[in-house]
Structure 1
Amino acid sequence: MGWAEFEQVKSEYTDFYKKIDEEIIRLLCERKAAAKGKRYSPPAELLEEWSQKYKMKVSEIGWLMHELNDGSGPFYMPEGPGELLGVIQIMKKSTVGDFDYILTHAMQHEHGSIVTLEINYKNKENENIGHIIPHLMLEITGPTEYKVAKKGSRGGGGNTQMGFLISPPLPSDLTEIHFALIPYAPPMEFPPKEVVLDQEVIFRKS
């Protein structure tokens, strides 16, 4: 079989979408120029107001704000965090509603840090909560500008654990470092497909 060129992808892109997209790009450039590399995030009350006004989830607006702030520069870590150098204890705990949020430690690597967050449901003896879906992102502020990316999550039965990749690495002294969790969920993200296995399975003798 010989080589063939890629076919042009069929597009239904119209002037209607062009006008909207161009305005989005113009506003992104305007905000980036005004911010001058600094991070600006709206307060929780304003996020709630916008959520009601525009019929969006707070976590979706939080995702957009995080992306706008992180757009001040690229997140370079092409070869991963690198060699493990040590561990820093964080041990910060906050309780919101029926959940405990605990930042336990940071694995210190050559090119970045990996921070672990544990989320525990406090009233699991009284109610079966099922699977926790954390639409959250870690925000870090301090003398240095930090970039944060999610690094997986796992758990069940009212408990879950999340990892966050931080660049540059956190300092050994965390006195001037402040941690917070913000609502964060990409608005176009589709929920994972669920497959229910409920048929009888019989293992027969060989």
Structure 2
Amino acid sequence: MRRVPMERPTDHYDARLFKIDEQLCALLEERREVSNQNPGFPPFKSIESWADRYRLYPDLLKSLFSLLLNEEVYLPLVEPAGFRKHLPVLRCAESGGKVYTLSGIRQYENASVVNLSIHGDYRERENEAMRAHTYIELELGEGYRCYVDQGTSSGGNSAYCFVVAPALPDDLAGVSFVFSEYERPLKRKPTGMEIVFRME
């Protein structure tokens, strides 16, 4: 989704904090490198101990570590620019009572936009699993970054637009589109549902 530019919340800054803040940034970089960008989340018991030792609020530390856990959310977004052409695809697959349709791809100079539609009957009350909100992610392999730009859902039908950077080749032969479902954002708690469209 498009990110709203942040405005500096205040013009005030205590310049005596500059060195400390710079050290915080250096520690964040070191933390990322040591964890190989997979830090996990500290046990609550450790957070409470640190909060007590350093006179901090436990909820503040929990919020901080949540931000660090989800660092990829803050990667710069690629805005598709310079529309070139539309690639019709129209591939369908069925899983769990839903039909997944890869309808087409819009090609831009710097990115591609992949369109996925999902159709299912959510009126069946006994199938509560179909009513639960889940998250769909697209994987295209090494070298491609994918994120959801737009999504909508109503009456059992969902539609997603994924931005892919860099742009996909116009000849899609050999490209595999892997759509996976998760219970939580940022690819956490996979449901096991996976739809693969292999282009020939």
TM-score (norm 1): 0.50
Q: Tell me what 2:103 maps to.
A: 104
**5+ long unaligned stretches in structure 2:** 1-9, 15-22, 45-65, 188-200
Q: Tell me what 1:86 maps to.
A: 86
Contact 1:119 1:160 in 2 (8 A): yes
- Between structures 1 and 2, the one with greater strand share: 2
Residue by residue over 1:161-182, the C-alpha shift from the partner in whole angstroms, topping out at 9 and shown as x without a partner, is 0101111111233232122223
| Aligned match for 2:155, one of 144, 154, 157 | 157
Q: Tell me what 1:6 maps to.
A: 11
Q: What amino acid does structure 2 have at the position aligned with 1:178?
A: S
Once the two structures are TM-superposed, the CA of residue 120 in structure 1 deviates from its matched residue by: 1.4
Contact 2:115 2:159 in 1 (8 A): yes
Once the two structures are TM-superposed, the CA of residue 152 in structure 1 deviates from its matched residue by: 0.9
Once the two structures are TM-superposed, the CA of residue 158 in structure 1 deviates from its matched residue by: 0.6
Residue by residue over 1:55-97, the C-alpha shift from the partner in whole angstroms, topping out at 9 and shown as x without a partner, is xxxxx9xx959x39x97xx6544xx3322422231514241x2
**How many residue pairs get matched?**
142
Tell me if 1:119 matches 2:118: yes
| RMSD across aligned positions (CA) | 4.4
1 or 2 for the larger relative contact order (CA 8 Å, sep ≥6)?
1
| Aligned match for 1:29, one of 33, 37, 61 | 33
Tell me if 1:185 matches 2:185: yes
Give the fraction of aligned pairs with identical amino acids, expressed as a percent. Answer: 19
Q: Tell me what 2:20 maps to.
A: none
Q: Tell me what 2:6 maps to.
A: none
Flag the 1:132–1:101 CA change in 2: closer, same or farther, 3 A. Answer: farther
The 2-side partners of 1:132 and 1:155 are apart by 12
> What is the SS of the residue equivalent to 1:166?
strand
**5+ long unaligned stretches in structure 1:** 10-17, 36-40, 42-49, 55-59, 188-206
Residue by residue over 1:87-145, the C-alpha shift from the partner in whole angstroms, topping out at 9 and shown as x without a partner, is 231514241x2333222211112221111111111x44534979774422211126xx1
The 2-side partners of 1:124 and 1:75 are apart by 33
Residue by residue over 1:173-193, the C-alpha shift from the partner in whole angstroms, topping out at 9 and shown as x without a partner, is 323212222335159xxxxxx
Q: What amino acid does structure 1 have at the position aligned with 2:148?
A: K
TM-score (norm 2): 0.51
The 2-side partners of 1:157 and 1:64 are apart by 31
The 1-side partners of 2:88 and 2:103 are apart by 9
Q: What amino acid does structure 1 have at the position aligned with 2:87?
A: V
The 1-side partners of 2:152 and 2:176 are apart by 25
